[in-house]
Amino acid sequence: MSFTTRPEIAGSFGVVASTHWIASAVGMKLLEAGGTAFDAAAGMGFVLNVVEPHLNGPLGDMPALLWPAGDAAPCVICGQGSAPAGATLAHYCAEGLTLIPGSGLLASVVPGAFGAWMAMLRAYGRLPLRDVLGPAIGYAQTGHPLLPSAAAMIATHAGFFARHWPSAAETWLPGGAAPAAGARFANPTLAAFWTRLLAEAETARGRDAQIEAALKAFYAGFVAEAIEAHCAEPAMDGTGMARKGVLNAQDMAVWQPSFEPAIEIETQGWTVWKAGPWTQGPALLQALRMLAQLDLGAPLSDRRVHRIAEVLKCVMADREAYYGDPAQSAVPLQTLLSPAYAAARAAEIGEEAARNPSPGAIDGFAPQTEAFHTRAARLRERAASDPAGPGGGEPTFAHLTNREGDTVHIDVIDRWGNMVSATPSGGWLQSNPVVPGLGVPLNTRAQMFWLEPDLPTSLAPGRRPRTTLSPSMAQRPDGTRLAFGTPGGDQQDQWQLIFLLRLMHEGANLQEAIDGPLFHTQHLQASFYPRGCVPGDLTIETSVPQATLDALAARGHLLTRAEPWSIGRLTAAARRPDGMLAAAATPRLMQAYAMGR
């Protein structure tokens, strides 16, 4: 074993990992109280809404992979809300838009995270709703140490809040000034929102009835009413225009979280599971299929980094051309995940960095490939430095720029073998003005739709945006089960791929695989406004050997040299067939934590 920044946590009772130490501590508390992994994950998710408000919020989104003990494979719960009935191409184009802004009310879809947490608790939890929600209410009411990144985000937007979003200023600028890093920060309005919701839930008798009552209060009660009233008032968005939203109470009332099978592939003795093509998750599976066809060379060699980067360019082009909500569009997933297609795509990989990767050719889908190329040409003309507007941009580099948002992640395994991998996001503090009476803003996931017709990702009422949120599960050849993931927008499956390859090919443990140098490409059609791309980019931590960096540049990669320990926020947990557990969390940003016993 090589040196690691932290130990790989081991035990048999339970393990948790998340992007904030307080959430991890709450997860262990709920396991100790007799809760399942599902109780712990939900409690952690609500706490993350409070302690990482610049990275996720209660009115955001949340896909999760769930693996109940005894089941042969995991399933997916979809907490990705759909577009409102009023979200039509005609309406948005009439507003003068060619892209959906990265912030503002027109970027909002139905908040899905709360419904997904409740559905998870109803199906697989044990603890009363008060026990699960109570820690988050406590931190919202009495305060928590404000993260430096959260304080910087508030300070960056303080002037905009004061001028244009008074409800945001009231929440995030207590006393009229941006709070300091490390200050005790509370959100009493959020605490009151959750307290009222809990009180309405507890008018029902029995745990399941209380969860149903909480769902009713959220999606058909005072929460939905507050959101409708909020969207009826114009608010400044990332384009500098004040616009009303289209989300209303009826959109909230008709939406439901859903359970669906995870998609899977088997490769080199491993099985890997992801959510469907309404996420970017299948890109990881496509990449694994392609890389199985290639000689990767030594760890951290230029051959390995080059081939991974080139494969990622290919699968991200496929993502943009073919992925979308399969409930509304045909998605050729069987072809995309087939060994034959992977072999054909792998044969396209050369020894030099490609500048214009294309989607693979699939019979019957030529119009989508043509649309990809038309859009790519337009996006190349859009400079990567184009202003994203307040709250806009890709939620990947918050720790580098202190400007954009981000996401959080949770992994939990309990003593019985139940497992959760969840990636909550959306509704971050810079995304929208705060909804009066709720203390938190709406999400902006609709920015992932295109305002062009006849695409699987075209804006359409009731359609799920093709989200970047992408939790993962896998099983080793020896039967060890893993839950893992990371925040990072378009980079989520890129970093997870590197992590998984280290487990598969290098014999690394969880912490070693997380600690190793990371890289990714921004040569893709970005999911976030202003949807730019950086042709030829390879962003890579400089802890990679200098000889590798020099060789990659010689292959034609345009290197963006990132400081060591600056990209990626991976966490992971594992359970061996004998019941022994392990967990690990990234040292990057110095806030993620794994715990267990």
Which of 496, 509, 481, 493 is closest to 419 using CA atoms? 481
pLDDT higher than threshold 70 for residue 212: yes
pLDDT on residue 585: 98
- Contact present, 417 and 69 (Cβ < 8 Å): yes
- The whole-number average pLDDT for the span 219-228 is 98
pLDDT value of position 378: 77
Average pLDDT over residues 175-198: 98
Q: CB burial class (10 A; 0-12, 13-18, 19+) of residue 96? A: exposed
Contact 102, 388 (CB under 8 A): yes
Q: What is the largest CA-CA distance in the chain?
A: 68
C-alpha–C-alpha distance, residues 289 and 343, integer Å:
8
Reference 558, options 193, 328, 309, 301; nearest CA is: 309
**Alpha carbon distance 114, 94 (integer Å):** 32
Tokens for 285, please give them: 């599976």
Which DSSP symbol is given to 275?
Answer: -
| pLDDT number for residue 550 | 98
Higher pLDDT: 357 or 252? It is 252
The upper half-sphere exposure of residue 104, i.e. CA atoms within 13 Å in the direction of its Cβ, equals 28
Angle formed at CA 594 by CA 590 and CA 597, multiple of 5 degrees: 145
pLDDT of 256 over the 80 cut: yes
Residue 18 token pair: 């998340």
In the chain, the amino acid numbered 247 is L
Checking if the pLDDT of 182 tops 50, the result is yes
Helix (H) or strand (E) holding 18: strand 14-18
Over range 271-278, report the average pLDDT.
Answer: 98
pLDDT at 219: 98
pTM over 0.75: yes
Tens of pLDDT along 372-421?
998 887 776 554 445 666 766 544 443 333 334 579 999 999 999 999 99
pLDDT of residue 523: 92
What local confidence, expressed as pLDDT, does residue 406 receive?
Answer: 72
Residue 210 in this model has a pLDDT that exceeds 50? yes
- CA-to-CA distance for 510 and 482, rounded, in angstroms? 10
Q: What is the pLDDT of residue 515?
A: 97
What pLDDT does residue 384 have?
Answer: 47
pLDDT of residue 170 exceeding 90: yes
Give the model confidence (pLDDT) of 470-482 as tens digits.
999 999 999 999 9
For the stretch 476-521, pLDDT in tens is 999 999 999 999 999 999 999 999 999 999 999 999 999 999 999 9
Q: What is the pLDDT of residues 93-109, one digit of tens each?
A: 999 999 999 999 999 99
Tokens of 165: 């979003």
- Binning pLDDT at 50, 70 and 90, where does residue 450 land? very high
Type of residue found at 525: Q
Mean pLDDT of the chain: 95
User: What pLDDT, in 10s, does the model give residues 40-78?
Assistant: 999 999 999 999 999 999 999 999 999 999 999 999 999
β-pair type (184-185, 235-236):
unpaired
Cis amide bond preceding 530, omega within 30 = yes
How far apart are alpha carbons 309 and 331 in whole angstroms? 24
pLDDT score for 2: 80
DSSP H or E stretch at residue 132? helix 129-142
SS3 594: strand
Specify the pLDDT at position 453: 96
CB atoms within 10 A of CB 465: 27
Beta strands 481-485; 571-575: pairing state: antiparallel
- Which 3 state secondary structure label does DSSP give 163? helix
Q: What is the pLDDT of residues 558-589, one digit of tens each?
A: 999 999 999 999 999 999 999 999 999 999 99
Structural contact between residues 570 and 421, judged by C-beta atoms closer than 8 angstroms: no
